[in-house]
């Protein structure tokens, strides 16, 4: 072969390789070009690839014959013929492989399997990586004897050098591509995490915060720029105190979150349902804010305690009175006192049960309200009769028009407000009614302790009491004003309070005119 042909071939291979990025394409070009220039009937290139998990396996390209001719045969093994090539111990050239002493010693075929290409001339060269490892082998065959010369051997070696560099290049490109893809996937994941409702935080093996998503910001009140790149213990006040109690699992199973309080500077105590997952690079924590839920739970148990206490007290009183009445002969005045007590406590009990029932009707939207004519004077008088004489003064302005609503429910609202005034403020209590714009306004005023501005909205919430543990000794469930608000709203009215601490309160509501 001419030197020009050789160098031309090597040049062509080099250009073809340089133009391609894909490992398989490169290897195919090398195989095709080398098979052609060597005048081989068929050529094959076996090469090792390493997959994403670091596993190495062999692929091959074929030239000169359809791939199907090879597919039923196993990969070349470490036989005497192939071993030198895979070990990198120089090219192997045989004029007639079938008569070569290295041929035909191995199970199961002792030579070429039936249906194999009719190889007589054989030439093989190892392909090295730039570091000197064998990354594959080029193999050529011909059906004729003595086709490959020493020069062919040199060409094969020359091409093998290019092939080694080409594979290296393709691998580097592939590594770069997958690194880029991984970086993009990470960036996508980081974007996705911004929209997750749970706080997601990643801390590396040195305890440095690497990720702090938007939900983590809003739950803790800490901006990511103040946390990222810092030690979590230093960046997140209160973290060290909860860190040890956070259940941290690995990625093999589910971890049950723990509910823990975190002291935040901006939001005070925040309850988190939190768990962590440890991985090679650190720990990922996921958490959600369960502060509201916890408050509700503690409110619920407070409520159960309050309601049962409220029910038990009158029952005990009635029971005690009955026992006393039964036990002995009492003088009639004592018996009257006890009977009165039974009377009051039974009424209290009934109204308590009524309150609870009404609340549940309101909550389940089962309450039916009339839209009828409500005479303010009548309603106020009826309400006044439930509290003792002399406590209450009633001022109904002349020509106060009738209101529109459910008379029984309006009476209930006025009664509630009056009873509260008596309970929390004591006499004097004034109940007024008058016309305002297109409505009728009712007011219940007292000169008691008043209500702080910050509490004036909340007292209308269900179960809300200023003194939830009844330290002041005034009993109640926190349902009264909630019921008032709901009833008034359902009658298309408005309700509110005007109050100055220490000076008394005026609870008011307005109903549409009839
Ligand atoms: P309850 O009286 O059963 O506690 P309410 O819903 O009727 O429940 O009232 C809620 C809270 O509002 C009371 O616990 C009390 O602290 C406050 N409150 C109601 N009325 C008055 C009032 N006239 N003066 C001062 N505080 C009041």
Options 3.40.50.300, 3.30.450.40, 3.40.1170.10, 1.10.1740.10; CATH of 3-176: 3.30.450.40
The percent of residues in the chain predicted with pLDDT above 90, rounded, is: 43
Query: How confident is the model at residue 8, as a pLDDT?
Result: 79
Shared fold status for 3-176 and 199-289:
yes
- Whether the CB of 283 sits within 6 Å of ligand 1: no
Say whether pLDDT at 390 is over 80: no
Average pLDDT over residues 113-124: 83
- More confident site: 3 or 210: 210
Q: Which atom of ligand 1 is nearest to the CA of 355?
A: 3
For residue 59, which of 127, 130, 123, 118 has the smallest C-alpha distance? 127
Least confident of 58-67, 153-162, 323-332, 384-393: 384-393
pLDDT at residue 50, rounded to an integer:
66
pLDDT at position 162: 82
Domain 199-289: which topology? Beta-Lactamase (3.30.450)
Nearest CA, atom 2, ligand 1: 476
Q: Is the pLDDT of residue 327 over 70?
A: yes
User: Any alpha helices (H) in 20-144, and if so which ranges?
Assistant: 23-38, 68-71, 83-87
Residues 61-90 have a mean pLDDT of 80
Angle (deg, nearest 10), helices 480-490 and 332-363: 50
* Whether the CB of 505 sits within 6 Å of ligand 1: yes
Cβ 467 under 6 angstroms from ligand 1: yes
Q: Which of 251, 245, 307 is nearest to 281 (CA)?
A: 251
Cβ of 504 less than 6 Å from ligand 1: no
Indicate the domain borders of the chain. Answer: 3-176, 199-289, 293-363, 372-512
d(CA 391, CA 383) in angstroms, rounded, equals 12
Which is the closest atom of ligand 1 to the Cα of 476?
A: 3
Q: If you search the block for the tokens 């009977």, which residue do you land on?
A: 339
Structure tokens at 219: 């739950």
Ligand 1 site, residue 276, Cβ cutoff 6 A:
no
Task: Evaluate whether 34 touches 43 at the Cβ level (below 8 Å).
Answer: yes
Atom 7 (ligand 1) nearest CA:
480
Find the mean pLDDT for residues 418-433: 92
Residue 486 above 80 pLDDT?
yes
Question: Is residue 212 helix, strand or coil?
Answer: strand
Sort 427 into a burial class: Cβ within 10 Å, 0-12 / 13-18 / 19+.
middle
Instruction: Report the predicted TM-score, pTM, of the whole model to 2 decimal places.
Output: 0.50
211 touches ligand 1 (CB under 6 Å): no
Assign 456 a pLDDT band (cuts: 50, 70, 90). very high
Q: Please name the fold of domain 293-363.
A: Helix Hairpins (1.10.287)
From ligand 1's centre to the CA of 230, what distance in Å?
A: 49
Is 429 close to ligand 1, i.e. is its CB under 6 Å away?
no
What mean pLDDT do residues 501-509 have? Answer: 95
Q: Which residues of 52-66 are buried (b: 16+ CB within 10 A; e: fewer)?
A: eeeeeeeebbbbbee
pLDDT for 153 equals: 92
* 372-512 CATH, one of 3.40.1160.10, 3.40.640.10, 3.40.1010.10, 3.30.565.10: 3.30.565.10
Phi, psi (degrees; rounded to nearest 5) at 469: -100, 10
Q: Which atom of ligand 1 is nearest to the CA of 448?
A: 24
pLDDT at residue 141 in the model: 93
Q: How would residue 307 be classed by pLDDT, with cut points 50, 70 and 90?
A: confident
Integer CA distances (angstroms), 87 to 84, 154, 197, 487, in order: 5, 18, 57, 92
**What is the residue with the minimal CA distance to atom 13 of ligand 1?**
465
Q: Distance between CA atoms of 469 and 303, rounded to whole angstroms?
A: 10
């Amino acid at each position: 072969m001419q030197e020009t042909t050789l160098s031309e071939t090597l040049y062509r291979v080099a250009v073809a390789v340089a133009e391609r990025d894909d490992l398989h394409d490169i290897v195919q070009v090398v195989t095709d070009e080398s098979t052609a220039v060597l005048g081989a009937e068929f050529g094959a290139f076996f090469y090792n690839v390493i997959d994403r998990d670091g596993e190495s396996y062999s692929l091959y390209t074929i030239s000169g014959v359809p791939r199907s001719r090879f597919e039923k045969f196993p990969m070349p093994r470490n036989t005497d013929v192939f071993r030198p090539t895979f070990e990198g111990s120089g090219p192997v050239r045989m004029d007639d492989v079938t008569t070569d002493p290295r041929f035909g010693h191995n199970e199961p075929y002792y030579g070429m399997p039936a249906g194999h290409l009719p190889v007589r001339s054989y030439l093989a060269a190892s392909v090295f990586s730039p570091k000197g490892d064998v990354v594959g082998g080029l193999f050529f065959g011909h059906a004729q004897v003595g086709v490959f010369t020493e020069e062919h051997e040199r060409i094969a070696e020359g091409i093998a050098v290019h092939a080694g560099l080409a594979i290296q290049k393709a691998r580097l490109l592939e590594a770069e591509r997958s690194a880029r893809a991984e970086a993009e996937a990470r960036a996508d994941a980081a974007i996705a995490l911004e929209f997750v409702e749970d706080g997601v935080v990643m801390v590396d093996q040195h305890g440095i915060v690497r990720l702090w998503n938007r939900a983590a910001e809003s739950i803790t009140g800490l901006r990511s720029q103040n946390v990222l790149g810092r030690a979590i213990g230093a960046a997140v006040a209160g973290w060290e105190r909860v860190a040890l109690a956070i259940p941290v699992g690995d990625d093999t199973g589910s971890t049950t979150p723990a509910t823990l309080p975190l002291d935040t500077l901006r939001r005070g105590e925040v309850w988190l349902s939190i768990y962590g997952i440890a991985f090679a690079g650190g720990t990922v924590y996921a958490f959600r804010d369960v502060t509201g839920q916890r408050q509700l739970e503690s409110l619920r148990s407070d409520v159960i305690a309050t309601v049962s206490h409220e029910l038990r007290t009158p029952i005990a009183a009635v029971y005690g009175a009955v026992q006393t009445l039964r036990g002995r002969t009492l003088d009639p005045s004592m018996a009257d006192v006890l009977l009165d007590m039974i009377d009051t406590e039974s009424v209290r009990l009934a109204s308590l049960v009524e309150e609870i029932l009404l609340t549940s009707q309101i909550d389940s939207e089962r309450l039916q309200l009339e839209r009828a004519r409500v005479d303010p004077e009548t309603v106020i008088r009826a309400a006044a009769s439930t509290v003792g004489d002399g406590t209450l003064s009633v001022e109904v302005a002349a020509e106060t028009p009738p209101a529109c609503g459910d008379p029984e429910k309006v009476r209930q609202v006025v009664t509630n407000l009056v009873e509260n005034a008596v309970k929390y403020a004591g006499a004097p209590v004034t109940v007024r009614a008058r016309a305002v714009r297109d409505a009728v306004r009712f007011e219940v005023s007292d000169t008691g302790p008043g209500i702080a501005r910050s509490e004036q909205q909340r007292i209308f919430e269900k179960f809300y009491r200023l003194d939830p543990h009844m330290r002041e000794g005034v009993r109640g469930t926190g349902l009264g004003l909630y019921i008032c608000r709901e009833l008034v709203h359902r009658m298309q009215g408005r309700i509110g309070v005007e109050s100055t601490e220490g000076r008394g309160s005026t609870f008011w509501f307005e109903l549409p005119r009839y």
